[in-house]
Structure 1
Amino acid sequence: MDKATSSAEILRSQIAATEEELGRLKEQLAAVEAKEAEDLNRLSMQEKPGLVTQGNWPLELEEYKRYGRQMIVPNVGIQGQLRLKAASLLIVGAGGLGCPAAAYIAGAGVGTIGIVDGDIVETSNLHRQILHSTAKVGMKKVESAIEFLASLNPNVRFIAHNEHLSPQNAKEIVENYDVVLDCTDHPTSRYLISDICVLLHKPLISASALRTDGQLIVLNSPPLPHGDPSGGPCYRCVFPKPPPAESVVSCGDGGILGPVVGIMGVLQALEAIKLIAAGKLTAREGEKAGEASMLLFSANSNPPFRSVRLRARRQKCFACSKEGGLTLESLSSGSLDYVLFCGVTTPVKILEPQERIEAREYERVLNGGKGKDHLLVDVREKVQFDICSIEGSVNVPFSTLQGNRALAADEKPLWIPQTLPTNAPIYLVCRLGNDSQIVVRKLKEIGLDKDGRYIGDIKDGLKEWKKQVDSSWPEY
C-alpha cells in the first residue's frame, strides 16, 4: 500500500512539472506568433508606395543587390562594405590611371570620391582614358569623369577639384579625405603628393606606367607620424633622389599601351578597397608596417608580374624621419621648389640661330631643284618614322647615335651615301626639334663640317612642319 502511494505521488509531481513546462511553451509560442504578425505587418507596409522603411538593416535594400557579390567575399563582408560606404578617397589625376581606378572604386561603393585634375579631354586621351569619350573632347576631365561615374553609381558623393594639385592648395584638398591615389605622370607631382600625405597622415597608393611597363607601391601605410619608424615608407624613402630630368619620358613622347595603364589603375583600386575594407586607413596602437614591396609589371615578360622588396622608413628621410625638415609651413609657403628639385625640363637650346632653319625654308630647299644636293636625316626611332616621314629622308634613330662608339672622330657614318658631295648640306629633323640639335652637335664634333658642309636642323621639328608646310601631316 505504501509503495502504491509513493508511485502516485511521483506521477502527480511529473504531471505538475509537465503542465508547468507546457505553460512556458505556450507563452513562448504566443511571443513568436506576435513577432511574426509584426514582421508581416511591416512587410505589407513596405510594399505600399511612400511607406518604405529601413528597419534594422544598415544598408539600403538596393545596396544589398548592388554590392552583394563583393560582400560575400570573406575579406569584405557587411563590415567591410560599411567601411567602404563611410570612407572618402581622393584621386589625383583623371587620366590613364585615374579613370579605371575611379570606375572600380565608385562601383565598389566608396562613399565619397574627390577627383583633382586641371586638364581638358583631348582626342589623344581616348585610347586609354576610359571615362572620357569623343563627345567630351574639350570638356574638363574632372567633369567628364564625374558624369560617367555618377551614372555608374548614384549612391556615391563626388567632389570636383578642377585644378592641379599644388603646394599652395594641397593641404586644403587632401585633409578632407581618408586615402589618396596618385594617378599622375611626373616626378614633381609624385613627391608633392607623398609629402602632403606624410604630413597629414594619409595612406598613399602610387602607380605609374610607360610604354608596356608599370609599377605600383602602397606608401605611408600605416600612416604613422613622421619620426615613427613603425610607419610605412614614403615616396622619398624609395626614391631619395629624382631621376635626371633628361631621362623623364612622358606618355606623349615615349608612348603607352592603353591596357597597360589600365592594369595599373585597376591594381590601385584593388589596393584601396583592401585597405578600406580591412579598416587600415588609420594606424592602430602598436601597429607596425608590414613588409613593403613594389609591384612591377611588364607586358613583354613571362611572368608579367614580379615583386621587389622595399626597406622600411629611411632613417634620414627628408619627409618621414625625425631628422627630416618637411613641415606644412615649408610646403605651403613655396620654399619647397619641386620643379627645381626634380630638374627643369626646358626645351633644348644648344644651336645658334644660323644652325637652324624654319620648316618652310627647308620646303623651299626640297622643292627648289636641289633635292639631290642635300641629305635629310630623321632621327626619330623607327617605330615613329614608319608612321609618317618626309619624302626622301633617311632614318637614323637617335638611340643609335648615342654613346662614344656611335660617332667616333674622323669616322664617316655609314648612313651617309657615298654619292653625296662632300660639301652637300645635311639637315636633321625629329619630332619636336630637341634630339635633332644634339645630333647636329655630334656630327660637327666628328668633323663632318670641315669641308664647309652646312649641318643644321629643322627648328621645332615635325610639329612646325605640320603648321608651316603640310596641314594634313598626322599628329600623334
Structure 2
Amino acid sequence: MEVATQSAEALKRQIATTEEELKRLKEQLAVVEAQSSIEKAVDGLELGAGPVTTGKWPLELEEYKRYGRQMIVPSIGIQGQLRLKAASVLIVGAGGLGCPAAAYVAGAGVGTLGIVDGDTVETSNLHRQILHNTAKVGMKKVDKIVEKYDLVLDCTDHPTSRYLISDICILLCKPLISASALRTDGQLIVLNSPPLPTGDASGGPCYRCVFPKPPPAESVVSCGDGGILGPVVGTMGVLQALEAIKLITSGKLLAREGEKADDASMLLFSANSNPPFRSVRLRARRAKCFACSAEGGLTLEGLSSGSLDYVLFCGVTTPVKILEPEERIEAREYERILKEGNRRDHLLVDVREKVQFDICSIEGSVNVPFSTLQGSGGLAAEGEMPAWIPEALPSDAPIYLVCRLGNDSQIIARKLKENGLGKDSRYIGDLKDGLKAWKEQVDNSWPEY
C-alpha cells in the first residue's frame, strides 16, 4: 500500500511538472506569434524591400507613407531613402547595443539586415536587450548569418571580437561602426571610413590604429561583473544606428577615387557628466598598423587559416586559483558551521562592493569592499588588527571571506595571511565559488544578479 502511494505521488509530481512545462510552451508560442512589427523587421519579414524602382514611382506608395517624415529631412530626401532601401547592414551582436541598433536600422528602411550572434537569451539580458522577452530565455538570440553586406555594426562586448571584426572590415573594404558600454559610460567610433584598401593612407583608421595594444586581460570588465544601465547601452546602440543611416544616405559606403577621410573622432558618453557627451579627435591611419598599413601583415589567408589567435593576442584569463583546497570551504560546510556554532565564534567578511552587498548578504556578514583592501587602506600595520575586526573576536577565531564568484575572496584571503593575520592558529579561508555556490548548495531562493 505504501509503495502504491509513493508511486501515485511521484506520478502527480510528474504531471504537475509536465503541465507547467506545457503552460510555459503555450505562453512562449503566443509571444512568438504576436511579435511586434519591429521584431518582424529584424527577423526578416520586412527585410527584402524589392527593387529600388517599381512602376511610376521609385518607392511603393506604402513606403512614402511610412518613411515620409524621414524623407522630408533635408539630409535624407528621396535619394537617401533609395540608398537605405538598396543598402545591406550586418549587425554583429544582438545584445544591449545590437537590439536598439537593429530596431532603428530596420525601421529606417534598410533593405537587407543581417544579425550574427551565437549567444542565448538570459533573464539578466532583458532590462536592456529590448528585442528579447521572458518567453525567449534560453533561446538562441539569432540563427541567421548574412554573408554580403555594405556596412558592419560591431555590437559585441569583448576586445577579441572587436579586433577580429575590424580586421575583416579592413580586408573586405567595409566601413565599421563600433560601440561599447559599461556601467554608466559608453564610446562610439566610425572606423575604416572611407573604406580604402590596405596601404592607402587616405582611408579611415581601423580599430588597431586607435588601440594598437589590447587592454590587460585582467582589466577587462564585463557587464555581468561591472554592471550596466539599460538606457546607457541603449543610447550607444541608437547612436550606432544614427551613424549607419548618415553613412548610407550620404553615399559614403563605398570609397570614391581621390577621397580622403574626414577627421576621425571618438564620441564619449557618461550619464553622470555634465555635459554627458564629449568628442576626442583621433589620428588618421597609423603608418605601421598591422591591419591597414602597407607594412601590415594582415591577410585573408591568415585570417581564414586560423593562424591569427585573437584570444592569445588579447590575453587569456584563467580562473583564480590562489588558495589551496584546505584553505577553502564549501557553502554547505559553512552553513553547517552556522548551525552548530555561535556566529560570534568566527567572522564572515563579504568583500563585494557596498552596492552589491546592499542587494543581498548572508546574515551576520561584515562588508569590507575589495576596493578598500587592494591597497593598504583596509589593512593595519603588520601584526596589528584591522579596524573592521571586532575587538571581541577571539584571537584564534576563523575568518572566512566571501564574494560573488569566489575570485576576489581568494585574493583578499591571501593578502590577509601575508599581512600576518594567520600566523598564529587562526584559520583564514574563503567560501569556494562564493555566493553562486551559496544559492546552489544552501538557499535556492537567493537572488541571482
* 1:382-461 matches, cutoff 5 A: 382-407=354-379, 408-461=381-434
What corresponds to 1:306 in structure 2? 278
What corresponds to 2:213 in structure 1? 241
> Following the alignment from structure 2 to structure 1, what is the Cα–Cα distance between the partners of residues 327 and 135?
44
What corresponds to 1:125 in structure 2? 125
Deviation per CA, 1:196-238: give whole Å up to 9, x if none.
Answer: 0011100000000001000000000001111111000000111
The one-letter code sitting in structure 2 at the alignment partner of 1:273 is: I
What corresponds to 1:281 in structure 2? 253
How many residue pairs match? The answer is 396
> Following the alignment from structure 1 to structure 2, what is the Cα–Cα distance between the partners of residues 364 and 338?
45
The one-letter code sitting in structure 1 at the alignment partner of 2:427 is: Y
Q: SS in structure 2 opposite 1:141?
A: coil
What corresponds to 1:29 in structure 2? none
> Following the alignment from structure 2 to structure 1, what is the Cα–Cα distance between the partners of residues 262 and 77?
23
Q: Percent identity?
A: 86
Alpha carbons of structure 1 residues 355 and 304: separation in structure 2 relative to 1, 3 Å: same
**Cα offset, 1:123, TM superposition:** 1.3
Q: SS in structure 2 opposite 1:268?
A: helix
> Following the alignment from structure 1 to structure 2, what is the Cα–Cα distance between the partners of residues 259 and 191?
26
1:356 aligns with 2:358: no
What corresponds to 1:22 in structure 2? none
Which of 167, 174, 184 does residue 156 from structure 2 map onto?
184
Q: SS in structure 2 opposite 1:266?
A: helix
> Following the alignment from structure 2 to structure 1, what is the Cα–Cα distance between the partners of residues 438 and 89?
45
Please tell me the root mean square deviation across aligned C-alpha atoms, in Å: 1.2
Q: SS in structure 2 opposite 1:217?
A: strand
Deviation per CA, 1:250-307: give whole Å up to 9, x if none.
Answer: 1111111100000000000000000000000011100001100000000000000000
The one-letter code sitting in structure 2 at the alignment partner of 1:330 is: G
Deviation per CA, 1:119-168: give whole Å up to 9, x if none.
Answer: 1222111110111112222222126xxxxxxxxxxxxxxxx23xxxxxxx
> Following the alignment from structure 1 to structure 2, what is the Cα–Cα distance between the partners of residues 239 and 77?
37
Unaligned runs of 5+ in 2: 1-52
The one-letter code sitting in structure 2 at the alignment partner of 1:108 is: A
What TM-score comes out, normalization by structure 1 length? 0.82
> Following the alignment from structure 1 to structure 2, what is the Cα–Cα distance between the partners of residues 436 and 337?
32
**Cα offset, 1:54, TM superposition:** 5.0
**Cα offset, 1:409, TM superposition:** 2.8
The one-letter code sitting in structure 1 at the alignment partner of 2:197 is: P
**Cα offset, 1:343, TM superposition:** 1.0
**Cα offset, 1:412, TM superposition:** 2.2
What TM-score comes out, normalization by structure 2 length? 0.87
> Following the alignment from structure 1 to structure 2, what is the Cα–Cα distance between the partners of residues 246 and 333?
28
What corresponds to 1:317 in structure 2? 289
What corresponds to 1:39 in structure 2? none
> Following the alignment from structure 2 to structure 1, what is the Cα–Cα distance between the partners of residues 353 and 84?
46
1:83 aligns with 2:83: yes
> Following the alignment from structure 1 to structure 2, what is the Cα–Cα distance between the partners of residues 68 and 129?
28
What corresponds to 1:212 in structure 2? 184
> Following the alignment from structure 1 to structure 2, what is the Cα–Cα distance between the partners of residues 122 and 301?
31
What corresponds to 2:12 in structure 1? none
* 1:136-155 matches, cutoff 5 A: 136-142=136-142
**Cα offset, 1:332, TM superposition:** 1.3
> Following the alignment from structure 2 to structure 1, what is the Cα–Cα distance between the partners of residues 389 and 296?
55
1:253 aligns with 2:225: yes
Which stretch shifts more, 437-446 or 119-128?
A: 119-128
Q: SS in structure 2 opposite 1:142?
A: coil
Q: SS in structure 1 opposite 2:82?
A: helix
Unaligned runs of 5+ in 1: 1-52, 144-159, 162-172
What corresponds to 2:96 in structure 1? 96
* 1:53-68 matches, cutoff 5 A: 54-68=54-68
The one-letter code sitting in structure 2 at the alignment partner of 1:348 is: V
Which stretch shifts more, 299-308 or 344-353?
A: 344-353
> Following the alignment from structure 1 to structure 2, what is the Cα–Cα distance between the partners of residues 274 and 313?
22
> Following the alignment from structure 1 to structure 2, what is the Cα–Cα distance between the partners of residues 187 and 100?
21
The one-letter code sitting in structure 2 at the alignment partner of 1:230 is: S
1:294 aligns with 2:274: no
What corresponds to 2:299 in structure 1? 327
> Following the alignment from structure 2 to structure 1, what is the Cα–Cα distance between the partners of residues 338 and 267?
51
Deviation per CA, 1:164-206: give whole Å up to 9, x if none.
Answer: xxxxxxxxx65x1100000000111001000100111000000
> Following the alignment from structure 1 to structure 2, what is the Cα–Cα distance between the partners of residues 241 and 326?
15
The one-letter code sitting in structure 2 at the alignment partner of 1:343 is: G
Q: SS in structure 1 opposite 2:114?
A: strand
> Following the alignment from structure 1 to structure 2, what is the Cα–Cα distance between the partners of residues 119 and 181?
17
> Following the alignment from structure 1 to structure 2, what is the Cα–Cα distance between the partners of residues 61 and 343?
54
**Cα offset, 1:405, TM superposition:** 4.8
What corresponds to 2:167 in structure 1? 195
> Following the alignment from structure 1 to structure 2, what is the Cα–Cα distance between the partners of residues 119 and 202?
25
Larger Rg: 1
What corresponds to 1:474 in structure 2? 447
What corresponds to 2:348 in structure 1? 376
1:341 aligns with 2:313: yes
> Following the alignment from structure 1 to structure 2, what is the Cα–Cα distance between the partners of residues 405 and 303?
33
